[in-house]
Structure 1
Amino acid sequence: MIVLLKESRWKKETLDPGGHFSWRKEGEEHLYDPETIYLLQRAVRENDYQLFKKYKNKLNDQSSKMLTLRGLLEPEYQSDPIPLEEVEPASEIMKRFKTGAMSYGSINQEAHEALAIAMNRIGGKSNTGEGGEDPDRFERDLNGDLRSSAIKQVASGRFGVNAHYLTNAEEIQIKMAQGAKPGEGGQLPGRKVYPWIAETRGTTPGVGLISPPPHHDIYSIEDLAQLIHDLKNANREARINVKLVSEVGVGTVAAGVAKGKADVILISGYDGGTGASPRTSIRHAGLPWELGLSETHQTLVLNNLRDRVTLETDGKIMTGKDLAVAAMLGAEEYGFATTPLVALGCVMMRVCSKNTCPVGVATQDPELRKKFQGKPEHVVNFMQFMAEDFRREMAALGFRSVNELVGRVDKLKQDKSREHWKAKGLDYSSILYQPENAKKTAIYCQQDQDHGLDKSLDLRELLELTKEAVENGVQIEKNLNIKNTDRVVGTILGNEITKRYGAEGLKEDTIRLNFAGSAGQSFAAYLPKGITFRLKGDSNDYLGKGLSGARVIVEKSEKSKFKAENNIIIGNVAFFGATAGKAYIEGKAGERFCVRNSGVEAVVEGLGDHGCEYMTGGRVVVLGQVGRNFAAGMTGGTAYVFDIEADFKDKANKEMVELEYLTETEDEVIVKEMIKEHLKYTGSERAAEILNNWQEEKEKFIRVMPRDYQRMINAIADFETQGLSRKDALMKAFEENAHDEARVSGN
């Protein structure tokens, strides 16, 4: 029997499409929708400013739909605008423009380099992101283009951060947090860590990379000030930029950052960096840049700090009106990230973390990369359009230069004509507050920070002592005294060598400097190849930070009577982010030894908590006890621990690593040779005891190796034994790993 139901009985209600994360026709309003993307891409491809005006008019209209806080801010335009030809030219305005920190790895080589070429052409700055940069890009191409990003980012991961990388920066950005997900770290899944990405980052193909939220050398504003000082020593010509996020109280933090001698402070809005953020962060973390920027500007003005720092902001700045509002709220420089990617072809599919980008932007897949159609000219056209639109806004407001417009919140008012119940409850008085002393003090950057570099031991003594070695490669050896107020010793010297010789540095032991006393913070930071620093005494925190090929030896003073293996001789966070070199420490280290090590071989006689945390490469031999949480987050490299008390397995974090005793293999040879070197350079009693009783003592060594790392190393070796070249073996092992559903990282 057939039963016919009335249409009203069987017709189902359509579910709400939502559209919170991706645009849906009947869903939430988005600034990026098919029409705005289409108009922008056509405008930049055809170099058509009239099409760009349609794009910006649509966006400015959307802002009035209350999609942004600035959409309810109304500039007070003059009835008689000043002539456009009297306004600061676009060529000068574009020097204030930057592209966002999108790492090589999150986006592909073609997109990353297109951004760099475009920004270098217009005199702006592109940003490496936290994934490092291929050194081949540091030299100009035959056609005169430069693929090097002017801003080199230093994030918690420290991927690829070495002396050569820092030396080739015009600006160095310390990423304290990310606008879209403040307080959270990042991750590059193993399936996106292709061999060329791993090489640039100093890691292993196919092994997922963790980027935790904190920098392990920053636990206070003083620590941040130290990192600023370290990086300024590593490149005296570069500005030091500190990236903060728009959050309640960011103004107070920014005041501390300004006192810590940052040259630029970026206030990043919650709209930015959402490509691979967790959904909860996209919706519920961070604040609009309008709030953080206004608070920061006001706080700096109130504390007479505004004249010494440049303020920058970013987060969906998409039109000239957005730029004008940002300037009036206090920003002098402006970042763009998603929109330049849209100009290059991005269609906002929101699959950045899946390696499946259909237009070949946010993918490393060789086949998908063939779909990339973007050109540097597209980004250049976008930036020129933005600068011209900004000029028209300034002319309408009656200002001839950006500096005149900065901080002029008196030219903004809240649009209270909106009838929406939420709009009626908004009070913009705090955003539009003008500090009383604003008329008496500078409200934009007018002077350089004094970084105190003239007080450094390098400028006082080391450069002169080593002049012949640096200029002519003549081998030298000098003896010096050192005290704990001598900070960042050797870093300026290393910078001079790197500028002259690049990543290759000098021949081994060209410069040998022997120090006696107590070294201050960041002794031997970012020291390149060809230098040996020997310290008789002790060292403060951050010893060998970012070590880039040098040899560092620390031994107890001849006057000291204590047993080295029982006493701490160097401070916390030694060799953090080190990329190459060797280290021999006669005594114990503090906490967080060799965190983020990606290439250093180090021997130490004991250490505190969190040793080898997040390590991605290199080797560490510990000839004594360790603290808790050893090897947490370790994804590469190998550690060997002398388990003298038979309690190491209780102290290790075994989440990502395997623990095995030494066997009659290559490991035994490696460990023994490293201990011999340690004895040779330090005369260590502990090393001598172990070597004199090697057959018995070697049984106490435990090898610590990450599971994913070991699997990839074994796979690469297997393919090499089958006759594949190293390059082909890497790719074959990566492909096999990427299709293994059982693998730990990247799924």
Structure 2
Amino acid sequence: MEAGLSRWVLFAIELMAGLFLLALIVLLVGGAVLYVLDRSQTGNAIRRNFPVIGRFRALFEHLGEFFRQYFFAFDRQELPFNRAERTWVYRAAENEDNTRGFGSTRDLSVEGTPFFVNAAFPELERDAVEPQPITIGPYARQPYSHAPFFNISAMSFGALSVPAVRALSRGAAKAGIWLDTGEGGLAPYHLEGGCDLVFEIGTAKYGVRTPDGKLDDARLREVCAHAQVKMVSIKLGQGAKPGKGGLLPGAKVTPEIAAIRGIPVGRDSQSPNRHPEIRNVRELLDMVAHVREVSGKPTGFKAVLGDVDWIAELCDEVWKRGIESAPDFIIVDGSEGGTGAAPQTLMEGVGLPLREALPMLVDTLIAAGLRERIRVICSGKCITAYEVAWALCMGADFVNSARGFMFALGCIQSLQCNRNTCPTGITTHDPRLQRGLVVPDKAERVANYARNVMREVGVIAHSCGLPEPRELRRWHCRVVCDDGVSRRLDALYPYPQPRMPAA
């Protein structure tokens, strides 16, 4: 028996030695082949000068993105959102306690840091009231009144997966907030949860287009016949790529998405960089009036500001035509806005950030006497309560967030949105990866996140001595300036005097 066992041990050793020798031969032959290939190729200098070894540079460069996120970056170092910000959202989405001990890890001396001016005698919680509804589109056949000030920004079906849209729709309904469809058309998954919807018309007019790319009134009327569609937004631009239309990579254009959008399957879908029929503010107002008439719903537009001269010109044109001709709302998107796919040049170098664009827009509308007629909605990296409170102080009626709700769905900021390889199933159409996104669970997280943001903005308002967040004004917030001293927002951005009677 011992002899038999010895033979088996000897056989196992010989087998392992043989496999090792085979692996060594394969490794050497493979290395030799790679060496020849690297030395002879002309496209990569590192691989040509350092054959085989040079290949590890690309690997380490790819892995470095993940190592920095998990092992080397401090809690407040990463961009576009640091770990502390993401953790706050995760905890809010899980409805977990967001209190902290031993002080903040945030550097409160950084230029641009907001401080809210607490009152000597803050509002008692028992005297606090819920945010009051604001009516949008009083001249539309079906005006829209909405109370929650924090809502879901534009994200298209196509850029997002089926389970992601379903979870957002259900979560929005639970929290009583609206969901912007994005420019990809109205999908059945938007309607599934029963939430209020803002239908966006992009430059390609997906979902409401004729075969040659023009606006199809019949299809628009059909879309807006849904009771859930409360408003229509004409997209002029978005923060991550001002002056360029949306891009959906061909890998994401499934047969279903192609049918909803009215485009070919499997081919890159590039929207025009503007609406061909809108060349100036007069034609913009014409389009707003036409869409409002066809849809019967409040109609406005979304834009990224480079300046506000054209907004002032638009306001002048409104007064010439009559107050009813004004857009019912303007969505101002900061240049720090995110997206699934955009050229880095536009993402990093074009358009004004929200901190400049929002007060410029609000002040232009105040000066024109149209601030109450035209509602202001803003978006651009507002994912925490103090950022939302800042926007309300600055004059926004509503604050939209996209990436905040992506974090609520479970996004880990892997930066794979444009590759159809999102590991959390949010921005991929790979069924294997979508399995990780369980709709009922994520819908609850979406609702929790929205509720907790609004609750904590309410806490800030109460600390400032106000019964509800919409009473926040610029004098309730100070911002650290370049000399390290904080100043009140109303000193940095004084409210202008109306040059025309208020509408």
Query: Same-fold call, TM > 0.5?
Result: yes
Question: Structure 1 residues 83 and 231, CA, compared in 2 at 3 Å: closer, same or farther?
Answer: same
2:302 alignment partner in structure 1? 243
- Superimposed CA distance per residue, residues 355-382 of structure 1 (whole angstroms, 9 cap, x where no aligned partner): 0101100011122111224521101101
Out of 150, 171, 180, the position equivalent to 1:118 is 171
Post-superposition offset of 1:137: 5.3
Question: Structure 1 residues 76 and 100, CA, compared in 2 at 3 Å: closer, same or farther?
Answer: same
Out of 222, 230, 234, the position equivalent to 2:282 is 222
- Superimposed CA distance per residue, residues 319-363 of structure 1 (whole angstroms, 9 cap, x where no aligned partner): 222222111211011101101110101111111111010110001
Question: Structure 1 residues 159 and 62, CA, compared in 2 at 3 Å: closer, same or farther?
Answer: farther
SS in 2 for 1:384: helix
Q: Which amino acid aligns with 2:289?
A: H
Post-superposition offset of 1:253: 5.9
C-alpha separation between the residues in 2 aligned to 1:94 and 1:333?
A: 9
Is 1:157 the counterpart of 2:200? The answer is no
Post-superposition offset of 1:235: 2.0
2:152 alignment partner in structure 1? 99
Within 5 A, what are the aligned runs for 1:160-171? 160-161=207-208, 162=219, 163-168=221-226, 169-171=229-231
Is 1:435 the counterpart of 2:496? The answer is yes
C-alpha separation between the residues in 2 aligned to 1:89 and 1:292?
A: 28
Within 5 A, what are the aligned runs for 1:609-688? none
2:376 alignment partner in structure 1? 311
C-alpha separation between the residues in 1 aligned to 2:80 and 2:124?
A: 31
C-alpha separation between the residues in 1 aligned to 2:236 and 2:305?
A: 12
SS in 2 for 1:353: coil
Q: Which amino acid aligns with 1:434?
A: Y
Q: Which amino acid aligns with 1:79?
A: A
C-alpha separation between the residues in 1 aligned to 2:470 and 2:83?
A: 36
Post-superposition offset of 1:214: 0.5
Within 5 A, what are the aligned runs for 1:177-196? 177-196=237-256
Within 5 A, what are the aligned runs for 1:530-549? none
1:385 alignment partner in structure 2? 452
Post-superposition offset of 1:97: 2.3
Post-superposition offset of 1:272: 1.4
C-alpha separation between the residues in 1 aligned to 2:317 and 2:356?
A: 18
C-alpha separation between the residues in 2 aligned to 1:29 and 1:258?
A: 44
Does the 8 Å CA contact 2:239/2:347 hold for their aligned counterparts? no
2:435 alignment partner in structure 1? 370
Is 1:89 the counterpart of 2:130? The answer is yes
1:606 alignment partner in structure 2? none
Question: Structure 1 residues 224 and 185, CA, compared in 2 at 3 Å: closer, same or farther?
Answer: same
Is 1:30 the counterpart of 2:30? The answer is no
Post-superposition offset of 1:44: 1.7
Q: Which has the higher contact order (CA 8 A, sep 6+)?
A: 2
Q: Which amino acid aligns with 1:76?
A: V
Does the 8 Å CA contact 1:274/1:282 hold for their aligned counterparts? no
Is 1:203 the counterpart of 2:263? The answer is yes
2:18 alignment partner in structure 1? none
Does the 8 Å CA contact 1:90/1:387 hold for their aligned counterparts? no
2:461 alignment partner in structure 1? 394
Post-superposition offset of 1:413: 3.2
SS in 2 for 1:390: helix
C-alpha separation between the residues in 2 aligned to 1:58 and 1:185?
A: 40
SS in 2 for 1:277: coil
SS in 2 for 1:129: coil
Q: CA RMSD in A?
A: 3.4
C-alpha separation between the residues in 1 aligned to 2:404 and 2:317?
A: 29
Structure 1, 36-45 or 173-182: larger mean CA deviation: 36-45
Does the 8 Å CA contact 1:349/1:357 hold for their aligned counterparts? yes
Post-superposition offset of 1:81: 0.7
- Superimposed CA distance per residue, residues 472-523 of structure 1 (whole angstroms, 9 cap, x where no aligned partner): xxxxxxxxxxxxxxxxxxxxxxxxxxxxxxxxxxxxxxxxxxxxxxxxxxxx
C-alpha separation between the residues in 1 aligned to 2:204 and 2:492?
A: 35
Out of 339, 350, 359, the position equivalent to 2:424 is 359
Structure 1, 202-211 or 338-347: larger mean CA deviation: 202-211
C-alpha separation between the residues in 1 aligned to 2:317 and 2:400?
A: 20
C-alpha separation between the residues in 1 aligned to 2:313 and 2:453?
A: 31
Question: Structure 1 residues 331 and 99, CA, compared in 2 at 3 Å: closer, same or farther?
Answer: same
2:40 alignment partner in structure 1? none
- Superimposed CA distance per residue, residues 262-314 of structure 1 (whole angstroms, 9 cap, x where no aligned partner): 11111111221233222222322222212111011111111111121111111
- Superimposed CA distance per residue, residues 123-149 of structure 1 (whole angstroms, 9 cap, x where no aligned partner): 2210111111224754xx6xxx41x66
Q: Which amino acid aligns with 1:380?
A: A
Within 5 A, what are the aligned runs for 1:318-337? 318-337=383-402
C-alpha separation between the residues in 1 aligned to 2:315 and 2:284?
A: 13
Q: Which amino acid aligns with 1:123?
A: G
C-alpha separation between the residues in 2 aligned to 1:411 and 1:36?
A: 23
Does the 8 Å CA contact 1:76/1:413 hold for their aligned counterparts? yes
SS in 1 for 2:242: coil
SS in 1 for 2:365: helix
Post-superposition offset of 1:95: 2.2
C-alpha separation between the residues in 1 aligned to 2:131 and 2:188?
A: 31
Post-superposition offset of 1:29: 3.9
Question: Structure 1 residues 372 and 279, CA, compared in 2 at 3 Å: closer, same or farther?
Answer: same
- Superimposed CA distance per residue, residues 58-94 of structure 1 (whole angstroms, 9 cap, x where no aligned partner): 69x267544xx3x1x3332212211123223269696
Does the 8 Å CA contact 2:118/2:464 hold for their aligned counterparts? yes
Structure (1/2) with the larger strand percentage? 1
Q: Which amino acid aligns with 1:247?
A: G
2:339 alignment partner in structure 1? 274
C-alpha separation between the residues in 2 aligned to 1:398 and 1:253?
A: 38
- Superimposed CA distance per residue, residues 170-228 of structure 1 (whole angstroms, 9 cap, x where no aligned partner): 01011110011111122211111011111111222112211121101111111111111
Does the 8 Å CA contact 1:174/1:242 hold for their aligned counterparts? yes
Post-superposition offset of 1:436: 3.5
Within 5 A, what are the aligned runs for 1:588-627? none
1:176 alignment partner in structure 2? 236
C-alpha separation between the residues in 2 aligned to 1:389 and 1:136?
A: 30
Question: Structure 1 residues 111 and 137, CA, compared in 2 at 3 Å: closer, same or farther?
Answer: closer
SS in 2 for 1:150: strand
TM-score (norm 2): 0.73
Does the 8 Å CA contact 2:165/2:189 hold for their aligned counterparts? no
Out of 214, 233, 251, the position equivalent to 2:293 is 233
Question: Structure 1 residues 63 and 266, CA, compared in 2 at 3 Å: closer, same or farther?
Answer: farther
Structure (1/2) with the larger helix percentage? 2
SS in 2 for 1:307: coil
1:617 alignment partner in structure 2? none
Q: Which amino acid aligns with 1:206?
A: G
C-alpha separation between the residues in 1 aligned to 2:463 and 2:83?
A: 30
- Superimposed CA distance per residue, residues 215-257 of structure 1 (whole angstroms, 9 cap, x where no aligned partner): 0111111111111111111222x21121111323265366368
Question: Structure 1 residues 253 and 114, CA, compared in 2 at 3 Å: closer, same or farther?
Answer: farther
Is 1:41 the counterpart of 2:100? The answer is no
Question: Structure 1 residues 192 and 58, CA, compared in 2 at 3 Å: closer, same or farther?
Answer: farther
1:616 alignment partner in structure 2? none
Is 1:264 the counterpart of 2:323? The answer is no
Question: Structure 1 residues 35 and 437, CA, compared in 2 at 3 Å: closer, same or farther?
Answer: closer
